[in-house]
Amino acid sequence: MTDRDSAIDRLVGTRRLRPIEALPWVIAIAAYFLLPQYLQLGTQILYTILYALSLDLLLGYTGIVTLGHAAYFGTGAYTAGLLAVAGWHEPITGLLLAMAVSGLLGLLSGAVILRTQGLALLMLGMAVTLLLYEAANNQNAITGGADGLQGVEIARVFGLFAFDMYGRVTYLYALGVLFLAWLLMRAIVHAPFGRSLVGIRQNPTRMLSIGVSVYRRRLVAFTIAASLAGLAGGLAAQTNQFVSLDALSFDMSGTAVLILVLGGPGRLYGAFIGATILMVAQDTLSKDDPIFWMFWLGLFVIALVLFVRGGALGLLDAGMSRLRKLRGAP
């Protein structure tokens, strides 16, 4: 087989679903039956995965380092929340609108942000988030300001399933949305468009010289990522039936980056692993002492950057290849 054939084979091969890719979904469904008392946390993990997954398209695939992704999550959350408060209780159209509004914001802000790079890009991303944070904080009458947006009532999903107090419907609803979004993300990153994003990350100049409009592709990626973050935000607003100002905070932006670094960026599943680890750790450790949590999280992250590049999945890869080498040796 020639090199060319094997390269094509490898590219096509990654698009095929492997059995291991069913694992997150098996775990998620098993958790539904085995851990009924943790369904609320489970729902939070599901929308956080979706949120981190949306950032992976920028950070991991396209190589856009931003600390302002909360802007789109928060916009989606407030869109879905405000729709429900205003009397539009139907959840699925609510989510679609949240996606649309966040996507539009992503397109507009991305058109400016992506003209810059490095430091200026980081700063503009943060400035967008801060701008929205201040706006949400000031418009008490509409957003509830620092108290958060209350009274988010959601109608039955498909007109059939009401959100129950045990969080069963909520969990399955979030799981369904995440599954669809994952299918979409998977299709995008394995499509020629997704491969060109990786090319842009690796060498923008070369992509430009082979005739790719780098700016336009980055902007499309930014818009998709923003609308998926909006979807995650809308899901958060609907499942919590509440929107807090934290949705637009720096912490929210930072969390997504940390999750990807923890799980492994540019891997599609880094978001799943990172979000689960971070949320479970936060739930058990930060309850009693948030300051303690923040301190150790900070130290842990520094150690991670210095010693373990590529996150959990990177570690797994390194372990696997070492194992293979051991087995290969006589």
Which positions lie near another protein, rule CB under 8 A? 59, 65, 67, 112, 115-116, 118-120, 122-124, 126-127, 130-131, 134-135, 138, 250, 254, 257-258, 261, 265, 291-292, 294-295, 297-302, 304-306, 309
Helix (H) or strand (E) holding 150: none
CB of 125 to another protein, least distance (A): 10
Closest CB to another protein among residues 39, 256:
256
CB of 122 to another protein, least distance (A): 7
CB of 303 to another protein, least distance (A): 8
Q: Are 238 and 80 in contact (CB under 8 A)?
A: yes
Closest CB to another protein among residues 140, 284:
140
- Sequence-ordered list of residues with C-beta below 8 angstroms from that of 267, at least 6 positions apart, any chain: 56, 60, 311, 313
Q: Are 76 and 230 in contact (CB under 8 A)?
A: yes
Closest CB to another protein among residues 67, 96:
67
Closest CB to another protein among residues 71, 152:
71
Q: In 3-state terms, what secondary structure has residue 102?
A: helix
CB of 33 to another protein, least distance (A): 36
CA distances (Å), origin 267, targets 53, 57, 126, 201, 273: 10, 10, 25, 14, 11
Please state, in angstroms and rounded to a whole number, the distance separating the CA atoms of residues 256 and 262.
10
Q: Which of 131, 129, 110 is nearest to 233 (CA)?
A: 129
One-letter amino acid for residue 70 of the chain:
A
Please state, in angstroms and rounded to a whole number, the distance separating the CA atoms of residues 49 and 259.
9
Please state, in angstroms and rounded to a whole number, the distance separating the CA atoms of residues 91 and 83.
10
Please state, in angstroms and rounded to a whole number, the distance separating the CA atoms of residues 301 and 253.
15
Closest CB to another protein among residues 79, 129:
129
Q: In 3-state terms, what secondary structure has residue 70?
A: helix
Closest CB to another protein among residues 239, 244:
244
Token pair for 121: 């890009």
- Residue 74 has a CB neighbour count (10 Å cut-off) of 30
Please state, in angstroms and rounded to a whole number, the distance separating the CA atoms of residues 320 and 281.
26
CB of 140 to another protein, least distance (A): 11
CB of 285 to another protein, least distance (A): 13
Please state, in angstroms and rounded to a whole number, the distance separating the CA atoms of residues 277 and 73.
20
Closest CB to another protein among residues 56, 196:
56
Closest CB to another protein among residues 104, 123:
123
CB of 314 to another protein, least distance (A): 12
CB of 98 to another protein, least distance (A): 23
DSSP string, 112-145: HHTTS-THHHHHHHHHHHHHHHHHHHH-HHHH-G
Closest CB to another protein among residues 194, 264:
264
CB of 144 to another protein, least distance (A): 17
Please state, in angstroms and rounded to a whole number, the distance separating the CA atoms of residues 90 and 95.
9
